[in-house]
A and B are shown apart, each in its own frame.
Chain A
Amino acid sequence: MPTNTFEHLGTTVVSGSSTTSIVFSGLSSWTNVIFVGRIAQSSGSTRQMNVNLGGTQAFQNMYASGSSGTGVPNTTRATGAGSCDLTVASVPDGNGVSFKGHLIKQGTSRGYFLWEGGFQKTSSTMDFTVSNAFTPNNVTSVTFGFFGGVLTAGSTISAYGVMI
């Protein structure tokens, strides 16, 4: 049983160019886990960061893009077994995606994951995505996966365990 109510579980900093996933395991003792990070991908026309929560029930996205006064929130709902892909977006070269994820799993039947992330789209615009997902209640590991490009050195994700 953790002795602290808010504990740094670890920070992964990418040092090379071959990383395709970052995994945080040993999460079973915590009722909440918070993820904070910033990643960038240096190549590839379609770059995505997804979250695998180990068995998925449903997720939904809200997405904001475009210039002032245009565009509408985009909602997407998907269901199915297997991984839960919470796509942030493609990432332009050299620009980072910042995000915060909050895994809440003190429920008796299922957990919940809230994801907020955004990225600089061009030199003067950016996009923003909010996603939420139901998860199994007994999530013990979370995998961040990266597709379509290689991670830039310095990409970082931290995990914090919270007891409430």
Chain B
Amino acid sequence: MATSFKALATATLTSTATSITFSSIPQTYTHLWVMGQVGTTYTTGCYMYVRPNNVSTNTYDYQLIYVNTGGITQQSNSDTDKSLGLVELITSTGNSAFTGFEIVYPLYKSGLGNNVWIYNGNTQRTATSNDNRGVWGTASNAETTAITSLVFSLQYGASFDTGTKITLYGLD
């Protein structure tokens, strides 16, 4: 049986950029998996967002469980987040504070219910502390369109730092 975890595309930044786009995603796999290491030049911390198909309307929702020095807590997005069509993923602290993450998109080609994905990320808060986060995102207004592109960006229009690397995988 063939190996079935294939790297479809990798974005590696040799200069800063405000967005990273994976377009023309093949519709030949069952699931998608994204892994990355992300840094930002923004110095006070910002969120990273991902927009399937670059949809920016009022469609997204999430639940977040995270642990930091203050203990464990839960958070969901605000109406403002939804109106922006953005999904909070991780915070970065700027300047070489790279953070790792993974996102799984089950059945990205079809709308069995709405598009929902699973996120795990680790946030470096300071030089000596970090958060663990799990995010659950959904396009809550019947966003069932097949995912053909993914656009990553940062809050405040901040830039991804040089060395940021994100890879998109397809799973049979």
Residues of A with Cβ closer than 8 Å to B? Answer: 4-8, 11, 36-40, 62, 64-69, 71-73, 94-100, 116-120, 122-128, 130, 152, 154-156, 158, 160
Q: How many A-B Cβ pairs are below 8 Å?
A: 145
Does B76 contact A8, Cβ atoms closer than 8 Å?
no
Q: Looking at the complex, which of B8-16, B48-56, B114-122 is the stretch in contact with chain A?
A: B114-122
Q: Considering the complex, give the chain B residue whose CB is closest to the CB of A162.
A: B5
Q: Considering the complex, give the chain B residue whose CB is closest to the CB of A69.
A: B75
Query: Taking the nearest CB of chain B, how far is it from the CB of A35, in angstroms?
Result: 10
Does B3 contact A40, Cβ atoms closer than 8 Å?
no
Does A125 contact B73, Cβ atoms closer than 8 Å?
no
Would you list 6 pairs from A and B whose C-beta atoms are within 8 A, ordered by A residue?
Answer: A11-B30, A38-B113, A73-B73, A98-B116, A126-B137, A130-B134
Does A73 contact B65, Cβ atoms closer than 8 Å?
yes
Most chain B Cβ neighbours within 10 Å, of A36, A127, A158, A160? A36
Q: How far is the CA of A27 from the CA of B27 in the complex (A)?
A: 28
Do A156 and B106 form a contact, CB below 8 Å, given A8-B171, A38-B112, A38-B113?
Answer: yes
Choose one: A73, A124, A155; the contact of B74 (CB below 8 Å). A73
Given contacts A36-B33, A126-B61, A160-B4, 15 further A-B contacts (CB under 8 A): A7-B4, A36-B171, A38-B106, A97-B113, A98-B107, A98-B117, A116-B118, A118-B116, A118-B136, A120-B61, A124-B140, A125-B140, A128-B135, A158-B172, A160-B171
- Residues of B contacting A64 in the complex (Cβ-Cβ under 8 angstroms): 63-65, 74-76, 136
Q: Considering the complex, give the chain B residue whose CB is closest to the CB of A4.
A: B3
Does B4 contact A118, Cβ atoms closer than 8 Å?
no
Does B113 contact A120, Cβ atoms closer than 8 Å?
yes
Q: How far is the CA of A134 from the CA of B141 in the complex (A)?
A: 37
Query: Taking the nearest CB of chain B, how far is it from the CB of A117, in angstroms?
Result: 8
Query: Taking the nearest CB of chain A, how far is it from the CB of B132, in angstroms?
Result: 10
Most chain A Cβ neighbours within 10 Å, of B107, B137, B141? B107
Q: How far is the CA of A8 from the CA of B72 in the complex (A)?
A: 35
B110 interface residue (CB < 8 Å to A): yes
